[in-house]
Structure 1
Amino acid sequence: MSGHPAQVGNPAAGSAGVGAAPSTAAPPTAGAGIGYRQLWAADPGDWRAAGRAWGALTGLAQRRRSSLDRQAGTLRTAWAGGAASAADHRLGGLGRELTALAPAMIEAEQTLAEFARRVQTARARLDAAVASAQVSGVRVDRDGRVSAGPAPAPGPVVAGVARALRDALDLAGTADREAAARLAALSEAAHTGWVDPPPPDRPWPGASPAAVRAWWSGLTAAERRWLVTYEPERVGGLDGIPAAARDQANRLRLDAVRDELLAERARLLLRVPRGPVEAVGLLRVEASLAGLTALTGRLDAPEAPRAYLLGIDPAGEGRAVVALGNPDRSTRVLTHVPGMTAGLDDATDELGRAGRVLGRCAELAPGEETSAVLWLDYDAPDFLHEAAGDGRARDAGGALHRFQEGLRATHEGPPARQTVLGHSYGSLVVGAAARDHGLAADALVFVGSPGVGVAHASELGVPPGQVWASTAPDDVIRLTRPPDDLARQAVLGGSPVGTLAGLLTGRDDERWFGHDPADPGFGGRTFPSGRHGHTGYWEPANPALDGMARVVLGR
């Protein structure tokens, strides 16, 4: 386990394809010994595949534990005496070891997946440096030595190419050292013990993410694994605990979440007579089960970037918080807050939207480490009369505030640029959180917004010029005008007629929940959107996709 990942394999000895003239200039190298040809030949897919193999052992360990428990139970009913007690004690110990093994296997998979991602980023920087050399006439030989070409390039240009190559190799070397250290620690734990019970104190209810982070940092690795193993629900839902640990805990909870939904379905099926309430409940549970299956498929998928499960809750319509790429190790982090009807049943669809922004970021800046998070940790309204009030947005504000503070608290290295994006009713959630609690965000983005609960961008508490919005010309949200008093009363009474009457009244620059954030008078900045309707902002042909990505990147 403890070998250097980047030193395994047979690196190609071919040229980078940018000249091959000898030079006396030493090739750029990283401190860990990652060379130019090694990085050029590295295949991140091999490391992702190795990680998936380790991750697959998690399920095997859990199945073996279940089998062992059944066999031990059978023995207890048919065997008694001193030998039986000794055997039962030994079987219990083996079961505990298998239980403790599961998060360690997920940790190994995470380590290799993150190493692969950073190697891919380093490769992108290397490719960019080589491309720059080709354009500027700088030679790069097979060993990464940089020199002026036949038409000599200015010294600063040659030095710039050399610095870019060194930056790529430094990133690869750092990733190599960190991955080797993490795998070595896991190897050591196999001999000294995977888990160790932590002190009894736990973060108090409502503890700040910074306090949670301080508590977690004070534990040993074995104590953290104990908490992941035996208190996964606590660890998986605490803002201030690093993404890797939350992912381990929540992945271990997936079977329990599925069992909870299956039990609810069984209860509904047994009710006689079965009325409309039970029928609606069954539809909801079936949708949540299908959504959970789809989400599990994405968590297990070989595609990059790796998904991190930061939260899961089957109650109600279901909730999920999922990151694409580790936000604790990324220089730019997007938090995507979906709108009306969002639930566990369509979590993968919403995650796909966040993923398309992330994909566009990778196209614009392939050498940057960026993460996108689906934050579906609130009770989104399902019907128009529910969406006519701001109660659910206000209720969600505190949770979104804590989540963003948690991202700040657990981030490694210099602070990341954090962007929070709200779509439709989700934009009101973001606005209410920023207004009432404050958001750890460097930029806010609103698309298809019915208003964000404030009259001016300056009330949202982010740096000037970092509030952005876009509304498609054919987005039906443009019909959401502020209602008159009579229409509002009808809406609050649950009348669809009153709702529609209210939607069609009001000024052009006003929305149901305040000043249109895409109106110049709001004080924010805008980017264009094509005619793709209310849910088409993430279509590849829509310029809004490019706009969102550029805001995330800080461009």
Structure 2
Amino acid sequence: MSASAGHAGAVGAPAGGEGYARLWAADPVGWTAAGTAWRGLTGLVDRRSAELAGAAGALRAGWTGAAAGAAGGRIAAFRADLAALAPALVETDQVLAELAGRLRRARAGLAEAVALAESGGVRIDRRGRVSVDPSGVRPGVPGPPVARVAATVTAALALADSADREAAGRLDELAAAARAGWVAPPPPWRPAPGADPSTVRAWWAGLTPAQRRWLVAREPELVGRLDGVPAAARDQANRLLVGRRREVLLAERRRLLARWPHGPVETAGLARVGATLAGLDALTARLADGGEPRAYLLGLDPGGEGRAIVALGDPDRADRVLTYVPGMTAGLADATGELGRAGRVQARCAALDPTGATAAVLWLDYDAPDFLHEAVLPGQARDAGPALHRFQEGLRATHDGPPARQTVLGHSYGSLVVGTAARDHGLAADALVFVGSPGVGVDRADGLRLPSGEVWASTAPNDAIRLAPAPDELPRRVLRGLSPLAAVLTAREDHALWFGHDPADPGFGGRTFPSGRYGHTGYWDQGNPALDGMARVVLGR
């Protein structure tokens, strides 16, 4: 499969030779497509498993005795083998998608080296050799040092070589597992739901690859929800559950339809289920489309308004990880829209740093308020705190290599979720960002357990959230002769909002970045400086 770029030489020497040309010729899109094709075979596996289940049912209906029992056992064994194959197909897709992403960043490194060289005085030949180019020197304009250009080429080739060797090793492991047996039962002990992520990580690390695949195939409900299990395994497990989650929603819709005549409860329920189904189908399409970056499904729950945790890129292998917590009305129905917001920050990070790896996570694993009378109360934010704390700890526990820079971003009511979790439980984060915030549960940045220099906020000049007063101000405004509506829509001068001091006010003690006049939901719009501000915080700039 080799995309290996070889090793770069010293300054002036062949910087990778064939590897330089091969990296330029490498096709990341082709590797992505190959991974998508492998993952697409899971549909064939599902169909064959369903056919076997039908055959087993037919046998039981018309055949009894010892031979019938043996045949039924044989069919069950075949179905178990097929169930074990599906996670391996998803894993192959993960490996090839990761290879494609790293090759893409390596090629960006070569492009950066070429741009440096073309700025004057340096030449890179077709074998990647770097040397002084007197004809390129422009009078009075200092060119880049030869050593800097050579180092950039060397780093790009090293990244490609590392990506190639790692991908080949993981695929070799899968091939060896196919020969030796995909799965093996693990020891009986399991971490309890909500277990400390470091405990989960230690348990997972103590299992063999065959035992891990057994758990993914046989106990996806457990694997898919445990913080401390690596993102790749959670993605495999949760993708196996998507069909079951859809069946739960379809069954609920059939139950509601069976209640006739339909009253307000049934009508509202049907509307909710329909919207959740549509949202799940849209999310499933994103998971299947092979788009860049690859999506990792880290959690999925169709209950209520629906919940989902989706990462764009593997957070265990990224240099920076953004966790985005949306606000009021967020649910499975609009999960792809919220994921798009996270993706726009990630895309801006890639534009600012093409050779770095940034993963962006939509964390929609809480019951977001649906109505204003819920959004003015902090209870749902408090309830979400332990889960967000545990998720961030899990990202730290499962990360490969040096720790990633972790940023948690909250929008609107989601900023209260983030602030409350940081205040009450602490967050494994290097920076916190709040946009369009009604307050974050504290009056000073130092109440969030992070250095104040890593607490950031922005509120658009025309964001209506600026007009939300602290609850104790409402009676006073009414008594001053304002109508109840005017009392809500009259801004305060002391920057106190529903849930504490406005974090976008310098008096809060954090740091701010600007936003254009894009309203309450426009922080991610192209052209809004807030998008650039969020990306630069994620990058640590």
TM-score tier by shorter-chain length is: over 0.9
Contact 2:466/2:491 (CA < 8 Å) preserved in 1?
no
- Range that drifts further, 342-351 or 464-473: 464-473
Give runs of aligned pairs for residues 53-452 of structure 1, distance below 5 A.
53-151=37-135, 157-452=145-440
Q: Secondary structure at the match of 2:453?
A: coil
Aligned to 1:27: 14
Q: Please tell me the residue identity of whatever aligns with 1:525.
A: R
Task: Tell me the residue number matched to 1:15.
Answer: none
**1:525 matched to which residue of 2?**
511
Q: Equivalents in 1 of 2:74, 2:484: separation in Å?
A: 69
CA distance 1:148–1:321, change in 2 (3 Å): same
Contact kept in structure 1, 2:460 and 2:517, CA below 8 Å:
yes
Give a deviation string over 1:297-321, Cα, whole Å, max 9, x none.
1111122000000000001100000
**Is 1:6 aligned to residue 3 of structure 2?**
yes
Letter in 1 for 2:217: T
Instruction: For residue 172 of structure 1, report the CA deviation from its aligned partner.
Output: 0.7
Which residue is 2:530 aligned to? 544
Counterpart for residue 494 of structure 1: none
Give me the whole-angstrom Cα distance separating, in 1, the residues matched to 2:247 and 2:11: 66
* Distance in 2 of aligned mates of 1:500 and 1:403: 40
CA distance in 2, matches of 1:82, 1:484: 77
The one-letter amino acid paired with 1:145 is: R
CA distance in 2, matches of 1:174, 1:7: 8
SS in 1 for 2:96: helix
Q: Counterpart of 1:52?
A: 36
Aligned residues: CA RMSD? 2.2
Alignment of 1:447-526 (within 5 A): 447-484=435-472, 487=475, 501-502=487-488, 504=490, 506-526=492-512
Deviation track 1:35-74 (CA, whole Å, cap 9, x = no partner) reads 1111111110000000011000111101110111101210
Q: Distance in 1 between matches of 2:485 and 2:218?
A: 49
By how many angstroms is 1:502 displaced? 4.3
- Contact 1:357/1:549 (<8 A) preserved: yes
Q: Supply the distance in 2 between the matched residues of 1:369 and 1:505 (Cα, whole angstroms).
A: 41
- Asked if 2 retains the 8 angstrom alpha-carbon contact of 1:482 and 1:507, the reply is no
- Contact 2:434–2:503 (CA under 8 A) maintained in structure 1: yes
Quote the Cα distance in structure 1 between the aligned partners of 2:507 and 2:474: 27
- SS where residue 204 of structure 1 aligns? coil
AA paired with 2:504? A
Q: Deviations over 1:472-518 (max 9, x none)?
A: 01101011111337649x9xxxxxx9687445364341111110000
CA spacing shift, 1:206–1:303, aligned 2, 3 Å = closer
Separation in 1, partners of 2:359, 2:162: 19
SS in 2 for 1:6: coil
Q: Structure 2 unaligned runs (5+)?
A: none
8 Å contact from structure 2 (residues 279, 333) kept in 1: yes
Deviation at 1:281, TM superposition (A): 0.9
CA contact (8 A) 1:34 1:169 kept: no
Q: CA deviation at 1:277?
A: 1.2
Segment of structure 1 superposing worse, 34-43 or 45-54: 34-43
Contact persistence 2:119–2:144 (CA under 8 A): no
**Matched AA of 1:312:** L
Identical columns (%):
67
- 1:319–1:344: 8 Å Cα contact kept in structure 2? yes
Is 2:306–2:332's contact at 8 Å kept on the other side of the alignment? yes
TM score, norm. by length of structure 2: 0.94
Could you tell me how far apart the structure 2 residues matched to 1:475 and 1:38 are? 51
Cα distance in 1 for partners of 2:471, 2:452 equals 30
Residue 323 of structure 2 aligns to which amino acid in structure 1? T
| Paired residues of 1:405 and 1:439 also in contact (CA < 8 A) | yes
Further displaced range: 520-529 or 33-42:
33-42
Is the deviation greater in 143-152 or in 159-168?
143-152
Per-residue CA deviation, residues 211-254 of structure 1 (Å, 9 max, x unaligned), is 10010000001111111111111111110000000000000000
Q: Which amino acid in structure 2 is aligned with residue 35 of structure 1?
A: G
Check conservation: 2:467, 2:489, Cα contact below 8 A: yes
SS of the equivalent of 2:316 reads helix
**Equivalent residues of 1:483, 1:503 under 8 A apart:** no
CA-CA distance at 1:77 after TM superposition: 1.9
Query: Runs in 1 of length 4+ with deviation above 4 angstroms?
Result: 151-156, 485-488, 497-500
1:40 equivalenced with 2:28 (yes/no): no
Residue 554 of structure 1 aligns to which amino acid in structure 2? Answer: G
2:218 partner amino acid: Y
Q: Which moved more, 1:498-507 or 1:441-450?
A: 498-507
The one-character-per-residue Cα deviations of 1:417-474 (angstroms, maximum 9, x if unpaired) are: 0000000000000000000000011011000000001011111111231111111011
Q: TM-score, normalised by structure 1?
A: 0.92
1:180–1:499 Cα change, 3 Å: farther
Paired with 2:168 and 2:338, the residues of 1 have a C-alpha distance of 35
Query: Aligned AA for 2:526?
Result: P
Retained in 2: the 8 A contact 1:7–1:34?
no
Measured against aligned partners, the alpha-carbon deviations of 1:314-338 in whole angstroms (never above 9, x if no partner) come to 0110000000000000000100000
State the shift of 1:121 in Å: 0.8
Amino acid in the other structure paired with 1:524: G
Q: Aligned partners of 1:222 and 1:24: how far apart in 2? A: 46
Report how far residue 162 of structure 1 moved.
1.0
Are the counterparts in 2 of residues 483 and 506 from structure 1 also a CA contact under 8 Å?
Answer: no
Contact 2:349-2:358 within 8 A present in 1 as well: yes
The structure-2 alpha-carbon separation of the partners of 1:485 and 1:131, relative to structure 1 and needing over 3 Å to count, comes to: closer
Say if 1:328 and 1:411, in contact at 8 Å, map to a contact too: yes
**Secondary structure of 1:321's match?**
strand
CA gap of 1:125–1:539, structure 2 versus 1, over 3 A, is same
* 1:327 counterpart SS class: coil
Question: 1:486 and 1:421, CA in 2 relative to 1: closer, same or farther beyond 3 A?
Answer: closer
